[in-house]
Amino acid sequence: MNKISYGYASATSGALIWGMAPLYYRLLNEFPLMEVVAQRAFWSCILFMVVFIIQNRLSELRQALNSFKNISLFIICSALIGTNWLLFIFALNYGQLMQSALGYYIFPLLTAAMGYYFLGERLDKLTKIALLFALAAVLLKGTSLSNFPWIAISMATTFALYAIIRKQLPVKSDTGTLIETIMLAPIAMIYFGWQAQNGAVLFFGADFMGLMLAVFCGLFTIIPLYLFHNGNKMLPLAIAGLIFYLNPTSQLIISIMLGEPFSFIDISVFVLIWTGLLIQFSPMFFKS
């Protein structure tokens, strides 16, 4: 398999695993939201740490945290990604997976807009048009006042801010993610301590199956992240960005399979989003 083929395989499998993850997390619906997020942060940290120890890369952590500015930015990133994980589990538990999908569709466009306003990055004409379609989709969804897409907007905003801030940190993607999970792990352990004090059984029942469910919370975080970033290194960013949309598309299909309402307004919202994305990526399909 050549480099480009391996890049396609990595990016595609990463996005698909990400998109199919809701089917796994639905197995944990009986457990509190905070416990699922805490297990995700704790086991991601443990698994990443094992990988870095095996690869003898722990020195990268010291290099990444060599200034007060970097430490501060990583603290903010940790808070943003932790909030994003919490919103995702909340959406899944309360039958709002479709909003999660909408949020991940909006995220790349919102990131482009934030890059323009905060970092002075160039925003081409097609992206501006795509952003208008995304804004129209959100406003249309907002006309259904009983179901304003606050989850989608919150997920897109936290993830976009996270992406913008992480771009300011000159570290490898997996090194940065390990640092973030290290910062989240103490909060998870405090939560575990609170659970133990209140007589709760840790690790989803504390038996072997519960422990495996907890470990897989970490695996479903680090495996797709590694695969997708690995693909990004080998593919043009436009192609990698297009492949990313397999994630929210899978979530959308799963939400419909799970029986979430999919009204005419919802159809119109996603048609607007898809139209915007087609406009943004049209140069890929029509270049000579």
Give residue for tokens 């771009």. 167
Contact 149, 102 (CB under 8 A): yes
pTM for this predicted structure: 0.86
pLDDT at position 179: 94
- Give φ, ψ of 200 to 5 degrees: -75, 150
Encoded amino acid at 20, one letter: M
Measured CA to CA, the distance from residue 232 to residue 247 in angstroms comes to: 15
**CA nearest neighbour of 75 among 187, 153, 150:** 187
Contact 227/11 with Cβ under 8 angstroms? yes
3-state secondary structure of 103: helix
- What percentage of the chain's residues is helix, strand, coil (to nearest 5)? 80, 0, 20
Question: pLDDT tens track of the chain, all 288 residues?
Answer: 677 788 888 888 988 998 999 999 998 988 889 999 999 999 999 999 999 999 999 999 999 999 999 999 999 999 999 999 999 999 999 889 999 998 988 887 788 788 888 777 777 788 888 888 888 888 888 776 466 789 999 999 998 898 888 888 888 878 988 999 999 999 999 999 998 898 887 788 778 888 899 999 999 988 887 787 777 677 765 677 678 888 888 999 999 998 988 888 888 988 998 898 888 777 766 654
| Strand residue runs (E) in the chain | none
Cα 212-214-215 angle, rounded to 5 deg:
65
pLDDT on residue 288 = 47
Range of the domain at 79: 3-286
Taking each helix axis from N to C end, the angle separating 150-167 and 97-119, rounded to the nearest 10 degrees, works out to: 40
User: What is the full DSSP assignment across 268-284?
Assistant: HHHHHHHHHHHHHHHHH
Neighbours of 181 (CB within 10 A): 26
Cα separation, 74 vs 233, whole angstroms: 22
CA 192 to mean position of chain CA atoms: 24
Q: CA-CA distance, 51 to 219, in Å (whole number)?
A: 12
Q: Structurally, how many domains does the chain consist of?
A: 1
Q: Token pair 């899944």 is at which residue?
A: 92
Q: What is the pLDDT of residue 1?
A: 64
Please give the Cα distance from 203 to 35 (Å, whole number): 8
- So what's the pLDDT on residue 79? 96
- C-alpha distances out from residue 165 to 69, 142, 216, Å: 11, 28, 28
pLDDT value, residue 287 = 59
Residue with tokens 């804004």: 135
